[in-house]
Structure 1
Amino acid sequence: MLWRSARWRVAACAAIVFWLLAAGWLSGVLLDFAQPRMYRTPYDQARVGPMSFGPRTAIVMLGGGTEYRDGQLVPKPDVYARIALAAALHAKCAREGGVCRVIVTGGNPQHHASAEADNYVPYLLHAGVPSADLVIENQSLTTWQNARNVAPIVHAENNDTLLLVTSSYQMRRAMLDFRRFDMNPLPAVSSVRLVKRGLLPRVANLDSAETALHELIGIAQFYVYRMIGWF
């Protein structure tokens, strides 16, 4: 509005950036930064041998939000893969005869009817995780708070194996936060976010770009806060 002589050039540049994001070309680059190659393979597709669980195992499942669908509060789409993987890992651990716990994290940052962790519990029970093996952490509002609130639980139990279940795009930031609290979990990627590149704009690509930017800003925030002593 103020730079009138360049108004059309600014508008053209904005339109080009929007198209690059919506068509997947720029959003794909952003996702590649948020999802480094080491965290880009879903656990069920990873070419690794059978996992050996220690006598005591903790499986931490990070929250990913909730939404209202047909008047009912349900997990957001990416969370279903996290629930399925957490339940599968618990089943494998139980078959090996160890003590297995699933720590479900997620408060209520969206101010919905219930916290994320409380909302996910019925789905985990339906997937076969016994209620006695569930630990609920429903106060955290951020990934950093997830790690901070889970740390006392993990350290008190003195687990031999610690697994962190979340989506690929969140894993890089989550690992930074968990290591900050003296935990070194094994990453278990539940799903990988992909974009579809082409000529036509897609809403899903814009959503992926927003997700990637959120994670990249969170990673930058982590390093800045560590530098000034806030984390």
Structure 2
Amino acid sequence: MFLFLSKLLPIFLYPLGLSCVLLILTLILLWKKRSRLALIPVTLTFLILFLSSSAWISDAIVESLEFQYITQGELPTADAIVVLGGATESALPPRPWIEIREEGDRVLYGAKLYRDKKAPKLILSGGRVDWRPSSSSEAEDMAILMETMGVQRSAMLLEPRSLNTRENAVNSLEIMKAQKIQKILLVTSAMHMPRSMMIFKKLGIDAIPAPTDYTSIQLGQATRSSLEATILDTLPDADQLRRTSRAMKEYVGILVYRLRGWA
């Protein structure tokens, strides 16, 4: 039940879900002939959607997460590389094979770190929510993809049960203890890294962040010097709305995990 509620309730805090709630409130007020009062929720709806779909706002929120663990210099070696799931879709019809989501950089980067000899083992952590159809766990999907990139199956330790980030950490820790693994490189999306590191550290895991899947680049490398760029970055954009929502999901997750004592 916690898993379902953790997916359902935050939807109404994200820009699109909150806007829908406000629009329903607007309709109720109009039905009750409170048209002047209805201006408040409809105005809030406009502001929420406009601001959260602007690149200026989206970049600020996203970068506050993604820039917390920027890698400085070369990553050290470790006993294992832990790659968190959330990067693949099962090969269900009409898909001819496993599909990689935007977060698929996790799989690519994990394989690269292994081939760069940063660690002798890979822990692939990720299950599937049972109310959604799937043919395999995310851990198995990642293993298949990594095999095509030249990673030996014998180097992979699969953890196919996790359904959220805390379970990723708890179940990975079980494998670490069984394999006598002390230090890990933690691979996940840059936006997801702050929450992940909080949880892994809470469990006493010696984790070195190895973020990937950046949706922003460092300040100073991108400029909005032209009038055209300024206008386009200010106007609403569906992709920016998605980035803002994804960042808000992380902040909500951090809050919930802290309240439960997990981070």
Determine whether 1:82 maps to 2:106.
Answer: yes
Of 103, 121, 125, 2:123 maps to 103
- Cα separation, 1, equivalents of 2:62 and 2:137: 28
- Cα separation, 2, equivalents of 1:68 and 1:161: 30
> What root-mean-square deviation, in Å, do the aligned CA atoms of Structure 1 and Structure 2 show?
2.5
Q: Does the residue aligned with 1:140 lie in a helix, a strand or coil? A: coil
Opposite residue 31 of structure 1, the aligned amino acid is V
Larger Rg: 2
**Pairwise mapping of residues 19-98 of structure 1 onto structure 2 (< 5 A)?**
19-35=50-66, 37-39=67-69, 41=70, 46-49=71-74, 51-53=75-77, 57-67=79-89, 71-72=94-95, 73-79=98-104, 81-93=105-117
**2:248 corresponds to which residue?**
213
**Pairwise mapping of residues 159-198 of structure 1 onto structure 2 (< 5 A)?**
159-194=181-216, 198=233
**Pairwise mapping of residues 115-134 of structure 1 onto structure 2 (< 5 A)?**
115-134=137-156
Q: Which moved more, 1:112-121 or 1:25-34?
A: 25-34
- Cα separation, 1, equivalents of 2:248 and 2:64: 9
Percent sequence identity over matched residues? 24
TM (norm. structure 1) is 0.82
Q: Is the 8 A contact 1:75 1:119 kept in 2?
A: no
Of 148, 151, 163, 2:170 maps to 148
Of 190, 201, 207, 2:236 maps to 201
Deviation at 1:53, TM superposition (A): 2.5
Opposite residue 85 of structure 1, the aligned amino acid is Y
Deviation at 1:179, TM superposition (A): 1.4
Q: How many corresponding residue pairs?
A: 214
Q: Does the residue aligned with 1:169 lie in a helix, a strand or coil? A: coil
Opposite residue 132 of structure 1, the aligned amino acid is S
Q: Is the 8 A contact 2:185 2:207 kept in 1?
A: yes
- Cα separation, 1, equivalents of 2:123 and 2:90: 24
Opposite residue 144 of structure 2, the aligned amino acid is P
Deviation at 1:11, TM superposition (A): 1.1
Opposite residue 53 of structure 1, the aligned amino acid is T
Alignment gaps of 5+ in structure 1: none
Moved over 4 A (4+): none
TM (norm. structure 2) is 0.73
Q: Is the 8 A contact 2:87 2:106 kept in 1?
A: no
User: CA distance change for structure 1 residues 68 and 113 in 2, over 3 Å: closer, same or farther?
Assistant: closer
Q: Is the 8 A contact 1:33 1:216 kept in 2?
A: no
CA offsets 1:49-95 (integer angstroms, 9 cap, x no match): 4x4425xx11000011434798224131222x11121111111227x
Q: Does the residue aligned with 2:191 lie in a helix, a strand or coil? A: helix
Q: Does the residue aligned with 2:157 lie in a helix, a strand or coil? A: strand
Opposite residue 38 of structure 2, the aligned amino acid is R
Alignment gaps of 5+ in structure 2: 1-27, 218-228
